[in-house]
Amino acid sequence: MHLFSPLTIRGMELPHRIGVSPMCQYSSKDGFATDWHLVHLGSRATGGAALVIVEASAVTSEGRITPGDMGFWKDEHIAKHRQIIEFVHSQGARIGIQLAHAGRKASMGVPWGPERVMGPDEGGWTNVMAPSAIPFSPTYAQPHALETAGIKKTIDAFRAAARRAVEAGFDVVEIHAAHGYLLHEFLSPLSNRRTDEYGGPFKNRIRLLTEVVDAVRQEWTRTLFVRISATDWAEGGWTIDDSVELSKILKTQGVDLIDVSSGGLVPNVKIPAGPGYQTPFAERIRRETGILTAAVGFIVDPAQADHIIRNEQADLVLLAREMLRDPYWAVHAAEHLDKKTSWPVQYFRAAPSGSTPRPTW
Ligand SMILES: Cc1cc2nc3c(=O)[nH]c(=O)nc-3n(C[C@H](O)[C@H](O)[C@H](O)COP(=O)(O)O)c2cc1C
């Protein structure tokens, strides 16, 4: 087994193990995908990634992190995705969408704008929600604690978005339960202080996520990923032991792969970030539950990525920032590791010898 070994997940065949991690582009208006997304995702597919995952796409308009976030809360959002999906497929790649709700981190400015809460006159909104009325930090919005009816509405919004993913023709749905957004906020005792059936002991804190998974699974029979933060890196927070227990349950619910990230729940924590620092979490979840995992975080070097697969630490590697630096990372990795891979026929005169022409439309 190595980086360029094929992988089949619930009938979806990937020619190798390199994917593009979801990355917010903050380039949508009213949640709509644009030509920017077509080019951004399309060029990484052209560059040889086996799988590209569309950024966090909000299941309700208040579930966006910023007014520029991608959304998937109305049927009108589907059409542009169809075009993107068709192009990505024409490059022999698969495409997923990450379904998200920003919870208490909603209604902020885009990263290149002022880093503060956006008022209604700036495209922001006041209906910011969380498990408990605890803000992320003093510079974030004051959320209100979701009532049971609001929880049910949120679950329905994830279900409706999954139905849109079917209609659009995506290959993968990833549920975003990481990075301190709504579903993660319910998981962690640091942000969830509820006393109803959605708060308190572990089985109550995971209830919302498991209900979202069940709702999505009613509509979505194809490949399903869940992204988690394996640890909050904070005293009294969510831990890797919790993540292992959760993954066992998600596996029984028909989740195919756990995409293992970390952090984001509370600010100002010490994170030992560095090459592959989250990979041991992916390895432990994989070993102790038997579910497929994806490793993500500071994976930049082909030998490093190959090592992760060869040592059975994860089944898939997802790259984010390195894919922004080099959209052709996958074909470059093949060359570096002396593996053969496919190149677009249009670019074939530049391909290393032994490359195969990529089927196109
Ligand atoms: C510009 C940018 C946008 C991101 N947006 C998302 C997102 O929409 N959803 C998500 O789960 N992670 C998001 N992330 C986190 C990445 O998917 C990834 O987990 C993280 O950057 C670590 O991987 P890297 O070291 O390869 O960049 C984003 C990261 C970047 C750099």
Q: How far is CA 290 from CA 96, 132, 247, 318, 339, in A?
A: 22, 34, 9, 19, 28
Is 261 near ligand 1, meaning CB less than 6 Å away? yes
Terminal C-alpha separation, the chain:
31
In DSSP terms, which residues pair with 204 in a beta bridge? none
- Residue (of 51, 53, 54) closest to 92 by Cα position: 51
Find the 295 Cα to ligand 1 centroid distance in Å: 12
Residue 316 has pLDDT above 70, yes or no: yes
Instruction: Give tens-digit pLDDT for 40-53.
Output: 999 999 999 999 99
Average confidence (pLDDT) over 196-222? 98
Q: How far is CA 196 from CA 102, 133, 150, 210, in A?
A: 22, 14, 14, 16
**Cα–Cα distance between 121 and 98 in angstroms, integer?**
28
What are the structure tokens assigned to 278, written together? Answer: 């989250």
For residue 308, what pLDDT is reported? 98
Instruction: Give tens-digit pLDDT for 252-300.
Output: 999 999 999 999 999 999 999 999 899 999 999 999 999 999 999 999 9
Residue 197 has pLDDT above 70, yes or no: yes
Instruction: Give tens-digit pLDDT for 34-82.
Output: 999 999 999 999 999 999 999 999 999 999 999 999 999 999 999 999 9
For residue 345, what pLDDT is reported? 93
**Cα–Cα distance between 250 and 7 in angstroms, integer?**
21
Is 21 near ligand 1, meaning CB less than 6 Å away? yes
What are the structure tokens assigned to 124, written together? Answer: 């922001």
**Cα–Cα distance between 214 and 36 in angstroms, integer?**
33
For residue 360, what pLDDT is reported? 67
**Cα–Cα distance between 58 and 26 in angstroms, integer?**
12
Average confidence (pLDDT) over 96-122? 96
Q: Which domains does the chain have, with CATH numbers?
A: 7-358 (3.20.20.70)
Return the H-helix or E-strand segment holding 253.
Answer: none
Instruction: Give tens-digit pLDDT for 290-313.
Output: 999 999 999 999 999 999 999 999
Residue 15 has pLDDT above 60, yes or no: yes
What are the structure tokens assigned to 32, written together? Answer: 């709509």
What are the structure tokens assigned to 92, written together? Answer: 């022999």
For residue 361, what pLDDT is reported? 52
Find the 297 Cα to ligand 1 centroid distance in Å: 8
Mean pLDDT of the chain: 97
Provide, rounded to the nearest whole percent, the portion of the chain with pLDDT above 70.
99
For residue 115, what pLDDT is reported? 83
Find the 153 Cα to ligand 1 centroid distance in Å: 27
Residue 359 has pLDDT above 90, yes or no: no
Residue 110 has pLDDT above 60, yes or no: yes
Is 227 near ligand 1, meaning CB less than 6 Å away? yes
